Structure 1
């Protein structure tokens, strides 16, 4: 078998790509600007040039088994990107087929949260686990569900949108998906910032967060304040962790995972977030699941995680049927 795969992570600003070996070592990586390209043909030409240079420089030409792509709203079944919010390309876009034709290499594509789950199972904290849920806590809340060693895609390729489980049925926060009360609106990085603004407006407690322009507060500001001992900021993490724990207890009833694995910027908050999640999760857990579900942090390095997650899909890539 050819010894390498390529991982491509398409973000709204940058596209990161890298060559990865079977042990999960990133041999080399590079990036291009996604938003520089108003049409997808120019983007593919730029990607082809950048990746070809990388393969030539690392003696990997003709040694690539497959290419895996992680992208927003990408469908594993169809190879299509169904819709794009921040990138001005027409959708649905048959990106897997287009990249495969450009490189002459089999391509598989999925959304970024699913790619993270596959990466964790192939190279990270979920090695050896057959049942787990990957939760990405970033700008939004993404998820990938693995049952019996298989990523769950559902009948249409869109299964696993746990960030859009509704946590508050009445007077919930408006979500970008158009619904209200979604988990993402409370427990993403932007959700934490929203909670901070609400707490500051509704309460009288002293807090260093009151010294910041209210609309500019970020989850990092809340974290820094909490670490320095700010009680209001610590309560924001309690509030966030409590909601996540409730959600994880509910998710457990669905697939009985061995572990729930956290990834993303907010997951780096450590015990500030993990302790209230654990306590809330156990408090809300059905009796038969208590004490059985591990809460783990991703073992993928942040800098390599996007490329590793996408690259893991490259081992599954099949040649297009002609």
Structure 2
């Protein structure tokens, strides 16, 4: 007998797929069902579909579950299930294909049992569904990592705000709010190449230049959020992604910047980690109107 209170949530990244069973009533991932599999995003469509389908089948092997929802990067026709990704150095062999139908055939599911939702919106929907944004009605979310993800939640709908290329300072927002800004800035100040923000954060206690970089980032983020908040009027801002793990190093500067203009705004850190997108995607089946692209 099919269990409609459980759905499979999956998150498609550039190098991996994660998936798990989500209890839609308890708003929790079922213990022991979370998996991660590597994916060659430059592989053939047959190779990619095989990895994705095997990961999903592995998750549901002991459960009678038909409903599947995938958090997918864009551009994508989420309703029809057609991949529109091109010129992004990933999944180029899926362009123009109906992923919903291909995956349904591999899973022996009906296509209508598979949903595709935007990955940025899924992150925020997950935090609304069972994380740090639970109970709020008007929210904006940022994922800060190798790229910049932006999303909004309003009137029960999570949507991709797509502000990564928003004109900002001398370029676009992502130029100043992603890992590459940190590595470039550190190289400018020191002449040293560094791998990423985690490595940089470990130097913060002994290198004043690193403290300066995080303070500059806090101001950059505050300036960007000031514009985003003015557009969306949220109750709370949710920060996720790997850079948010170093929040303590730019918290004071960020709050000083943004709360000078918006003293009532709350800044919260996402608590679900990589589970957020899985829970957000799966929650589509609790109310299949709340995730927009």
DSSP 3-state at the match of 1:16: strand
The within-5 A match list for 1:35-184 is: 35=40, 38-57=43-62, 60-61=63-64, 63-64=65-66, 66-73=67-74, 74-84=76-86, 85=88, 86-103=90-107, 104-105=109-110, 106-152=113-159, 159-168=160-169, 172=170, 181-184=171-174
State whether structure 2 residue 288 is matched by structure 1 residue 311: no
Shift of the 144–215 alpha-carbon distance from structure 1 to 2, 3 Å rule, reads same
Preserved CA contact (<8 Å) 1:75 1:111:
no
Out of 193, 202, 206, which is 1:215 matched to?
Answer: 193
Give the equivalent residue in structure 1 for 2:7. 5
8 A contact 1:10–1:69 mirrored in 2: yes
Q: What CA distance in whole angstroms lies between the structure 1 residues aligned with 2:15 and 2:158? A: 27
Give the root-mean-square deviation of aligned CA atoms.
2.2
Mapped contact 1:118–1:313 kept (Cα < 8 A): no
In the alignment, is the contact (CA less than 8 A) between 1:241 and 1:274 conserved in 2?
yes
The alignment of Structure 1 onto Structure 2 pairs a total of residues equal to 278
Q: Which has the larger radius of gyration?
A: 1
Quick one: distance in 1 between partners of 2:165 and 2:284?
Answer: 24
Q: Is 1:191 equivalent to 2:178 in the alignment?
A: no
SS at match of 2:281: helix
The Cα shift of 1:94 comes to 2.3
Question: Cα–Cα, structure 1 residues 91 and 282, in superposed 2: closer, same or farther, change >3 Å?
Answer: same
Say if 1:166 and 1:183, in contact at 8 Å, map to a contact too: yes
Taking the aligned partners of 1:50 and 1:298, their CA distance within structure 2 comes to 26
Distance 1:92 1:199 in 2: 44
SS at structure 2 position matched to 1:232: helix
* Runs of 5+ consecutive residues of structure 2 not aligned to the other structure: none
Structure 1's 279 and 31: CA in aligned 2 closer, same or farther, altered over 3 A? same
Decide whether the 8 Å contact of 2:122 with 2:158 is kept in 1: no
The reply to whether residue 32 of structure 1 matches residue 37 of structure 2 is: yes
Deviation at 1:97, TM superposition (A): 3.6
On the 8 A contact 2:120/2:150 being kept in 1, the answer is yes
SS of residue matched to 1:248:
helix
Which among 20, 23, 26 is matched to residue 22 of structure 2?
20
Distance 1:6 1:317, change over 3 A: farther
CA distance in 2, matches of 1:238, 1:4: 44
Aligned equivalents of 1:219, 1:53: Cα separation in 2? 34
Distance in 2 (alpha carbons) for counterparts of 1:36 and 1:238: 36
Which residue is 2:202 aligned to? 224
Deviation (angstroms), 1:199 = 2.5
CA contact (8 A) 2:152 2:158 kept: yes
Q: Which runs of 5+ in 1 are unaligned?
A: 153-158, 173-180, 202-213
TM-score w.r.t. length of structure 2? 0.86
Change (3 A) 1:49 1:269: closer
3-state SS of paired residue (1:296): strand
- Paired with 1:222 and 1:281, the residues of 2 have a C-alpha distance of 24
State the match for 1:251 in structure 2.
228
Write the deviation string for residues 257-302 of structure 1: whole angstroms up to 9, x where unpaired: 001100011101132122111111123x2xxxx22211011121x2
